[in-house]
């Protein structure tokens, strides 16, 4: 589900405000630390509807990398991914790329990377667009990695909602209160809750959707980790729009997830 027309509109609407969001960083290149303690590879499509989020995230990561002493390289597709390529990185950051259209060698290398704990993984939003899309079949392994789920629907007009933290003691939730609000998000629903197969860190309280919507799951986890693989991993559902990088709860979770999954 690519929403190409909306992507163009969103990019034009949001790119103009990036300089206001991150005035000190505009015009600079990829985030690099002079003495990196670990290396991150970040995957994001070039022409996605989520491009404004990715652009804002790159600018945020530039400052984050300096602060926490890591480096970030970026790729726009999976063409380069194989075992040798992934061996260079301690963390795979899936900023915006769905679980289809991966090259076969990338599928094999990434599966081994996760199952054998060769590095960590943090994925956002688009990573649970699981199903048959754009002529590609379901990736069963990735579905199991995400808790055995399949994408079913989304809130096309978006909604603001409260996210309830379930495990405040988990390192990813350090310095996060019992709940926080996410504005204007495109909440996905799935054919079932991933809860039986993952460790849920937070869920969205669907009773707080504003405006209200009939697109609901009941039990709706939005941040979780799969403890059945060796790699430290976190899925963070939010990741549609650049204003998320101005939400202190979101950036704190993002920060924590990077350091925890990279074993820092």
Count of structural domains within the chain: 1
* Token reading at 185: 């998000």
Answer whether residue 178 is part of any domain: no
Answer whether residue 209 is part of any domain: no
Answer whether residue 183 is part of any domain: no
Question: Rounded to 10 degrees, what is the CA torsion of 215, 219, 225, 226?
Answer: -100
Q: What is the mean pLDDT of each run of 10 residues along the chain (264 residues)?
A: 40 43 40 75 92 95 96 98 98 97 98 98 97 96 98 96 98 98 97 98 98 97 98 97 97 98 96
Give the model's pLDDT for residue 202.
98
Residue-number span of the structural domain to which 33 is assigned:
4-152+190-204+215-261
Answer whether residue 210 is part of any domain: no
pTM reported for the whole predicted model: 0.88
Answer whether residue 162 is part of any domain: no
Give the model's pLDDT for residue 34.
63
3-state secondary structure labels for all residues of the chain: CCCHHHHHHHHHHHHCCHHHHCCCCCCCCCCCCCCCCEEEEEEECCCCCCHHHHHHHHHHHHHHHHHHCEEEEEECCCCCCCHHHHCCCCEEEEEECCCCCCCHHHHHHHHHHHHCCCCEEEEEHHHHCCCCECCECCCHHHHHHCCCCCEEEECCCCEEEEEEECCCCCHHHCCCCCEEEEEEECCEEECCCCHHHCEEEEEEEEEEEECCCCCCCCCCEEEEECCCCCCCEEEECCCCCHHHHHCHHHHHHHHHHHHHHCCC
The CA distance from 80 to 106, in Å, is: 8
Answer whether residue 44 is part of any domain: yes
Answer whether residue 231 is part of any domain: yes
Q: Which residue, among 52, 73, 63, has the nearest Cα to 23 in the 3D structure? A: 63
Give the model's pLDDT for residue 152.
98
Number of neighbours of residue 159 by Cβ within 10 angstroms: 20
Give the model's pLDDT for residue 48.
84
Answer whether residue 159 is part of any domain: no
| CATH at residue 130 | 3.40.50.880
């Amino acid at each position: 589900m690519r929403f190409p027309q909306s992507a163009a509109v969103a990019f034009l609407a949001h790119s103009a405000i990036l300089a206001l969001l991150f005035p000190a960083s505009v015009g600079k290149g990829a985030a690099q630390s002079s003495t990196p303690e670990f290396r991150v590879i970040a995957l994001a499509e070039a022409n996605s509807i989520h491009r404004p989020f990715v652009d804002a995230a790159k600018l945020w990561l530039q400052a984050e990398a300096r602060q926490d002493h890591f480096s970030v390289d970026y790729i726009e597709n999976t063409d380069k991914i194989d075992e040798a390529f992934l061996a260079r990185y301690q963390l795979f950051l899936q900023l915006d790329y769905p679980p289809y259209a991966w090259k076969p060698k990338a599928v094999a290398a990434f599966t081994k990377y996760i199952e054998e704990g060769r590095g960590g993984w943090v994925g956002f939003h688009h990573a649970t667009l699981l199903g048959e899309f754009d002529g590609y079949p379901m990736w069963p392994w990735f579905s199991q990695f995400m808790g055995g789920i399949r994408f079913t629907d989304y809130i096309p007009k978006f909604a603001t909602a409260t996210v309830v933290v379930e495990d405040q003691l988990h390192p990813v939730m350090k310095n996060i209160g019992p709940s926080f609000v996410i504005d204007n998000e495109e909440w996905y629903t799935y054919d079932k809750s991933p809860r039986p197969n993952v460790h849920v860190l937070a869920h969205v309280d669907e009773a707080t959707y504003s405006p209200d919507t009939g697109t609901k799951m009941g039990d709706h986890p939005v941040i979780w980790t799969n403890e059945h693989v060796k790699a430290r991993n976190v899925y963070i559902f939010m990741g549609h729009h650049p204003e998320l990088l101005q939400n202190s709860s979101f950036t704190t979770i993002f920060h924590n997830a990077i350091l925890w999954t990279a074993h820092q």
